[in-house]
Amino acid sequence: MNKKNKRNSIMGMAFFGPALVLLTVFLFIPMILTVVYSFTDYFALSPNTTHFVGFENFQKIFGDDLFVQSFLNTVKFVLIIVPLQCLGALGLALLINKVSYCKKYFKVAFFVPVVMSLAVVSTLWMQIYSPEGIINTFLTNMGFDPQPFIHSADQALPSIAIMSAWQGMGYQMIIFLGGLQAINPALYEAAEMDHASAWKKFKDITLPELKPLCVFVFITVTIGAFRMIVQPMVMTGGGPSNSTYTIVYDIYETGTVNWEIGLASAMAVVFVIFVVVLTIIQNVLTKDKEGVVCHAKRKKLTSKLQKNSRRNFKNRRLKYLFKWLYRAVFA
């Protein structure tokens, strides 16, 4: 028995070992070095002159107007894309779940942008947003003035957010679609017997049943939105007037263009702390406080369905009894 357990342990480590080595080299060690470098003035072109500077880097970035603006741009982008992408994915899932024909086609069609490269999608939408693009052509034909979109400081960030929501919506749609297909149909049958409207069925059955998935999608979309860098890098270069300059873009420029690794590491540490705190707050706010209520509603609907089934069974039994008596007496 001991030999068997030892052999199983060796087999497990043989499979897990390479992954652990890769994680250590490319994830854990860089994380530790980032924290260490954030307290130094490490400059990549002259690493021998590195000194410990304490919290000087953190004081410098909070006094940097460009860093503050990039942080606010990132928050604004998250506030636009999170509701847009989550609600859009849920709406698509509800529509496809109701479709009887070509359901696989719609799944594939809406999921295709997810597997496309963000650089390719960004280049494509640059053409769509151009002055001679399809959107401005349509607006002109409808009698409206053409819009600058990514060439305007006011419209650039919302335009990128709409493109990003379109690109990533298909992934969350598949998640919601799986959750919808896992809901017990008996709950909807009980609601129909109670003459519930479509909105009431969605509010009392669909939404509570999808709540765990909604929380998961909400958190993952939020974290993904904070990491935005490819779209502004390809489409606007952070402009116009730094209106699409995000915090990850600022970290990239500081570390790989200006070679100020210590300052970039401090930015990364602040960014990670903010995202972790935000995730904890999201978990607390979206905690299943209504779990008991949802369970009670589900139990009530199920019991109502069972009660109606028993009543229908009794009615059928009485109907057959009267029919048999009628035949016995008058036949």
Q: What is the pLDDT of residues 223-250, one digit of tens each?
A: 899 989 999 999 999 888 999 999 999 9
Q: Residue 126 pLDDT more than 70?
A: yes
Distances (CA, A) of 90 to 95, 186, 213, 245: 9, 22, 10, 29
Backbone angles phi, psi at 237, to 5 degrees: 65, 25
Q: What does the alpha-carbon distance between residue 247 and residue 61 come to, in Å, rounded to a whole number?
A: 11
Residue 193: what pLDDT?
A: 79
Residue 89: what pLDDT?
A: 94
Is pLDDT larger for residue 260 or for residue 308? 260
**DSSP codes joined into one string, 101-159:** SSHHHHHHHHHHHHHS-HHHHHHHHHHHHSTTSHHHHHHHHTTPPP--GGGSTTTHHHH
**Pick from 87, 63, 97: which is nearest to 218 by CA?**
87
Residue 293: what pLDDT?
A: 44
Least confident span in 92-101, 144-153, 278-287: 278-287
| Radius of gyration for the chain, computed over Cα atoms and rounded to the nearest angstrom | 29
Q: What does the alpha-carbon distance between residue 110 and residue 307 come to, in Å, rounded to a whole number?
A: 42
Residues linked to residue 40 through DSSP beta bridges, in sequence order: 52
When pLDDT is averaged across residues 70-79 and rounded to a whole number, the result is 94
**Pick from 203, 222, 230: which is nearest to 301 by CA?**
203
Residue 104: what pLDDT?
A: 85
Residue 37: what pLDDT?
A: 93
Residue 327: what pLDDT?
A: 58
Residue 15: what pLDDT?
A: 82
Backbone angles phi, psi at 194, to 5 degrees: -90, 5
**Domains detected in the chain:** 39-318 (1.10.3720.10)
When pLDDT is averaged across residues 195-220 and rounded to a whole number, the result is 88
Is pLDDT larger for residue 266 or for residue 294? 266
- For residue 10, name the pLDDT band (cuts at 50, 70, 90): confident
Residue 299: what pLDDT?
A: 56
